[in-house]
Structure 1
């Protein structure tokens, strides 16, 4: 049995609607932390002119590539190993996409991820981040507060990031917030360009 995420099934449609607004030019996309591969498997064929490269920590690659090989798409490339703190693919990329990763990374890893990704984006490139965020230091819902507490109980370095803090990290690399979209289940998609 391949790993399966019900949340990925639930949110892939709303994520597609936002991506259709921003993935408007041909090019290459790097997906950071592709997880089960459900997003890559379903989203990549929707954008046939974009070469979609999923990435994941090395120990998770076998199951990810198994899923991706089950329903191949012409523009969906084999997943590559990527740890935020290690060597990154050279790029350049027109797009970088990540879903549900910033709250499971430490703040230092998130800052490093943003730095490394921005170095590999083209001048007109876009970075799209899906997940929960706090605003002005406060959760947007009781469920997000409980989720944040459960993350920190598991590992104090984890936790839902403040949207303003994330925006400031991108600004350090001359990338501005282009869009902030409300999503189901108290999530957002932040788009930087």
Structure 2
């Protein structure tokens, strides 16, 4: 594969997300990225945070694009993608003290979001930190007109997709021992949410 896939959104949001990760992943060592997509975030964050071992993962159909970004960057701390379907075993065994995911929860069906947190329960260490970026509803209501329009477009595309309730995701996190420690407003009415275990 010669051409790398490119996401304009990943290019736009990488610096605001990096600012959050610099703070909350400062004492972390091994990060599992769920849904690495194009691979752009992985190479940007691994380059900026060389103390981290950044483990990419996604469905096999996306691996060629991720590998293209990783090979071009040639970073020793950005690892080739694991084949990971959140609904299915095997998940990586415990040994990650951090996890990150961007723009995935509104693409997954709710049952898949629940499965993702079950998998994280097995993969994350006792003191792990989880950071998730994307749009969220609050109290069942959209936080902006643009998010409401985005949600409607998602649901028109596929009934299982949609912007998730922050409180519902918080409950899933709490169910695996994660306590929310940060909520950072991001551009384009998104949030970066951070939870910690222990």
- Which of 52, 61, 64 matches 1:62? 64
Asked if residue 52 in structure 1 is aligned to residue 58 in structure 2, the reply is: no
Asked if residue 135 in structure 1 is aligned to residue 138 in structure 2, the reply is: yes
Secondary structure in 1 matching 2:55: strand
Alignment of 1:19-98 (within 5 A): 19-86=21-88, 87-98=90-101
Structure 1 runs of 4+ aligned residues shifted over 3 Å read none
Mind listing any 5+ residue stretches in structure 1 that lack a counterpart? none
The question of whether the paired residues in 1 share the 8 Å contact of 2:28 and 2:98 is answered with no
Cα deviation digits, residues 34-80 of structure 1 (max 9, x gap): 00111001111111111101111011111211121011112111111
For normalisation by structure 2, the TM-score amounts to 0.95
Secondary structure in 2 matching 1:78: strand
Asked if residue 122 in structure 1 is aligned to residue 125 in structure 2, the reply is: yes
Instruction: Please name the residue that 1:105 is paired with.
Output: 108
Instruction: Please name the residue that 2:173 is paired with.
Output: 170
RMSD: 0.9
Mind listing any 5+ residue stretches in structure 2 that lack a counterpart? none
The question of whether the paired residues in 1 share the 8 Å contact of 2:52 and 2:77 is answered with yes
Asked if residue 11 in structure 1 is aligned to residue 13 in structure 2, the reply is: yes
Aligned length: 193
The question of whether the paired residues in 1 share the 8 Å contact of 2:91 and 2:122 is answered with no
For normalisation by structure 1, the TM-score amounts to 0.97
* Distance in 1 separating the partners of 2:54 and 2:22: 14
